[in-house]
Amino acid sequence: MKCTSSSHAKSVRLLGLGVATGTLMLGSLSAASAETLTIWGGYPEMAPFYEHVAEGMKDEYPDLDVNIETIALREHEKRVALGLTSGGNGTMVIELAGSTATRYLENDLLPAAPEEMAEFVKDPANFGAFFSNTASYDGTVYGMPLFRGQGALFYNTDMFAAAGLTEPPQTMEDFTDYAVKLTERDASGKPEVSGWSLRLSGGGQGIAEKFWINLFQYGGSLLVETDDGMWKPDFANEAGRKALGQYLDNIYVEKTVTPEMPADADAFERGQTAMFIRESWVIGDIAAKAPDLNYATAPLPVGSIALPTNLYVSGDNQDLGWAFAKAANEPENLVWLLENIGWLPNRSGIDYSSVTDQQPAFAAFVDYPEGYEFFTLPSIGPIEEILTRVAAQLVEAFGNPSLAGDDAAIDAVLAEASAEVEKILDREGLLAK
C-alpha cells in the first residue's frame, strides 16, 4: 500500500493526538522493559488469543513475560499515536489496520520487517497479494497480517423455505427478486418484515461503506487509485446508477424495505428481516442473542470489503517481537482464533474444517470462491471525510421517491457526490488528473 498525502500534515495530526492523550500513555511505555514483550491491541476480545500464543511459546522462551494490553479501538489508536511519537524502550507488538499504520510509516516511526519475516509475508502460499500489500508500504513489508473484518450475506433459512427459495442469491438482480419474495406485508401491503435490510440510516461512514459493498458487485468503487498513486471517484457511472437505483427500487418501487424499519443484526436476530450483508462478528452475536435462529451465510456475487489488521513491532528486542507475530500465524493458533474469537485469519492454506464443520456460517468467510475479490478503505487522510460526505448525499437520495426509476436524476445525484469527493481530494493534493 502507499499513500501520497503530505507527511508534514500527518506529523501534525500525530502530534495532536499525542498531546491529547499524554500522561497515561507515557506511563504505559515506561513500564515496558527489554525482557518484557508488550502487546498493544484495539480489540479487547483478542486478549485470550494473545495469551494462547504466549503460552505456546513457553517451550522455546521459558522466561518470556508477555504483557497484554488490549483496549477499545479508538483509545488504542490514541495510545499508539502518542507512544510511537514520544518513543519508548520496551519491545512492543502493535495491532494496527494497514490504513492506520500508514501514517506512522510515512514518518518512519515503525521499522521494516526483517528479511525472513518479509519473505514469509510475501510468499503467496502464506498470504494473498491483497493481504501482503496491506502489510507493506512502498513495496517494503512492515507488518505481519493477522485477521480481518469481511462482509457476507446472512439469510434466514426458514423464511427462504417459506418463500420457496432453495439457495442464496447469485447476482445482485437476484437480491431484489429475493427481497420481493421474502417481504412480509400487512393487509394494506405495508412491509412488516423486510426482505433485504439495506443500510439506509445511522452512522455516516457505515452507510457509505455498505453502499460501497453493493457498488463493488456492479464493478464500481467510491475511490480508485491511479498508477501515479493518486485517487479518483468511480461511481458516477453505470455501476453507481445500478447500485443506487437498486436501493431506490427496493424502497419505492418494490417496497421491500423502508428507512423506518428495524435493520441490521438486531432486526435479523428478531426475525424482522430475511437477509442482510454484515461481517463475521454477527455469528457470535447470533449465538449469544438468538441461538435458535435458523440461518446460513453466503459469499457475495463478486467480492467483499476486507479490513485487515496486522501486527507491527517496535522497541529494543525486535527479534522477540517478530517471533511472537510469526507464532500468532501458526496454523494451530489461527484455527484457535477462528474457533474461539471469531475474527477471520488472513493466512492462506489453513484447514479450518474443524471450525466450519461445527459452525458452517464461517465457511462463507474463509472458503470463498476462487477469484473472489477484496477491497479495503484507502490509506489516505481524508477517507473519513469522504465517506461522511458521500453518506450524506446517499441519505438524501434514499429519502427522495422522485429518483426511483429516473436514471437521469440518479446520474445527477451521483455526479454531484462525485464532484464533492473530487474537491476533497484536490484540497489534499490527492486528486488524479
Q: For the segment 217-276, what is each residue's pLDDT rounded down to a tens digit? A: 999 999 999 999 899 999 999 999 999 999 999 999 999 999 899 998 999 999 999 999
Question: Residue 378's pLDDT is what?
Answer: 86
Our CA dihedral for 265, 268, 273, 277, rounded to 10 degrees, sits at 50
367 Cα distance to chain centroid = 18
35-148+307-365: which CATH architecture? Answer: 3-Layer(aba) Sandwich (3.40)
| Residue 10 pLDDT exceeds 50 | no
Statement: the pTM of the whole predicted model exceeds 0.85: no
Kind and range of the H or E element at 297?
Answer: strand 295-298
What Cα–Cα distance (Å) separates residue 25 from each residue in 36, 67, 117, 317? 17, 15, 29, 20
Mean pLDDT of the chain: 89
Query: CA quadruple 336, 134, 383, 225: dihedral positive or negative?
Result: negative
Our CA dihedral for 423, 206, 258, 269, rounded to 10 degrees, sits at 170
Q: CA 307, CA 310: separation in Å to the nearest integer?
A: 10
Mean pLDDT across 364-383:
88
Where, residue-wise, is CATH 3.40.190.10 in the chain? 35-148+307-365, 152-305+374-428
CB atoms within 10 A of CB 155: 24
Q: CA 9, CA 96: separation in Å to the nearest integer?
A: 20
Question: Residue 117's pLDDT is what?
Answer: 97
| Residue 416 pLDDT exceeds 70 | yes
Mean pLDDT across 34-56:
91
Taking the CA of residue 216 as centre, how many other CA atoms within 13 Å lie in the half-sphere pointing to its CB? 22
CB atoms within 10 A of CB 34: 12
Those residues whose C-beta lies under 8 Å from the C-beta of residue 395, and which sit 6 or more positions away, are: 200, 201, 204, 207
Residue 191's DSSP bridge partners are 185
| Residue 38 pLDDT exceeds 50 | yes
Tell me the helix, strand and coil percentages in the chain, rounded to 5.
50, 20, 35
Question: Residue 77's pLDDT is what?
Answer: 86
Residue 7 in grid coordinates = 507527511
Superfamily for the 152-305+374-428 domain: Periplasmic binding protein-like II (3.40.190.10)
| Residue 134 pLDDT exceeds 50 | yes
More confident position, 409 or 379: 409
Q: Is 387 helix (H, G, I), strand (E, B) or coil?
A: helix
By the 8 A CB rule, do 236 and 414 touch?
yes
Per-residue pLDDT tens digits for 332-373: 999 999 998 889 999 999 999 999 999 999 999 988 898 999
- Kindly indicate the confidence band of residue 89, based on its pLDDT and cuts at 50, 70 and 90: low
